[in-house]
Amino acid sequence: MLTKTLQWRMEFNIEELLDENLGDHLDKVVFMQGQDRENHPVCYNVYGEFQDKDLYQKTFSDEEKRDRFLRWRIQFLEKSIRKLDFVAGGVSTICQVNDLKNSPGPGKTELRVATKQALNLLQDNYPEFISKQIFINVPWWYLAFYRIISPFMTQRSKSKLVFSGPSRSAETLFKYISPEHVPVQYGGLSVDNCDCNSDFTHEDTATEITVKPTTKQTVEIIVYERCTIVWEIRVVGWEVMYGAEFVPENKEGYTVIIQKPRKVASGDEPVVSQSFKVGEVGKILLTVDNPTSNKKILIYRFKVKPLPCE
């Protein structure tokens, strides 16, 4: 197998490919962001971008363009591999997430052929560089397509595959990738290359809680000093009531309503970011009321910022 791979690399001109300018029109289709729970870098493949007719035609309309797409995909993978750590004990594989939401259907023969070619190239020449292949928002027709191509895949390759439908995509991702590393658009808290929330980074771990149907969940943040508490909270899919308040330890003190309970819909802001300046010992209560018949995934994290001495 090694001999065949080396021969393929020569025929594909891998070293020249690294310096080849193949454009940036596919940057939203494939991107790297965060790490999985075993510290493998995560690569996202967003097939829904090909609903753009101009992009689809530019990428798959003829054999030359499809070949260029494959070369771009291999170039991206090669550049990603060169960032891995191949010393003993280092991270030497990549986790791939394939988002099939709004992916062009089975009638798009060109995409299906290119996808099969890409999978074959990965299986034949990069079998040990992929730790896991996670497919999310999987439509029924893709599973049918998988049944067709699976007989041509090795058992080892098939063992790395994970499939999840739209209703469980976030839950599946969290099984392999912690919420602070999952992009916001996929249910997590990660916003890559953005200064819109400088309070938190990938290093700030999040807590994940399952909120049962028709129940209320309260997150309690104990405050022991004068400080400013900042937090992020989200419920995957929302459609719940959310509120926040500060309750002082002193029984003669007054409860402060930070956020009057309000309904947060699925189309509202994906992540609620808030802060509160605390002048005495007490606790902040974040309340999520789930009135639906479905369980919800609640994610939150917070930081304590001591106030300067007066």
> What would the two tokens of residue 185 be?
């658009």
Q: Does residue 201 fall inside a structural domain? A: no
| CATH number of the domain bearing residue 32 | 3.40.525.10
pLDDT of residue 116: 79
User: Are residues 141 and 222 located together in one domain of the fold?
Assistant: no
User: Are residues 180 and 211 located together in one domain of the fold?
Assistant: no
Per-residue pLDDT tens over the stretch 199-217: 899 999 999 999 999 999 9
Per-residue pLDDT tens over the stretch 71-105: 999 999 989 988 888 887 888 899 999 999 998 87
- pTM of the model as a whole: 0.89
Provide the domain count of the chain: 2
Q: pLDDT > 90: what percent of the chain? A: 64
Per-residue pLDDT tens over the stretch 180-196: 999 999 999 998 755 55
pLDDT at 197 over 90: no
pLDDT of residue 196: 56
Q: Does residue 199 fall inside a structural domain? A: no
Instruction: Categorize the per-residue pLDDT at 268 as very low, low, confident or very high, splitting at 50, 70 and 90.
Output: very high
Q: Does residue 202 fall inside a structural domain? A: no
Q: Which domain does 136 fall in, by range? A: 2-186
* Cα–Cα distance, 184 to 192 (Å, whole number): 9
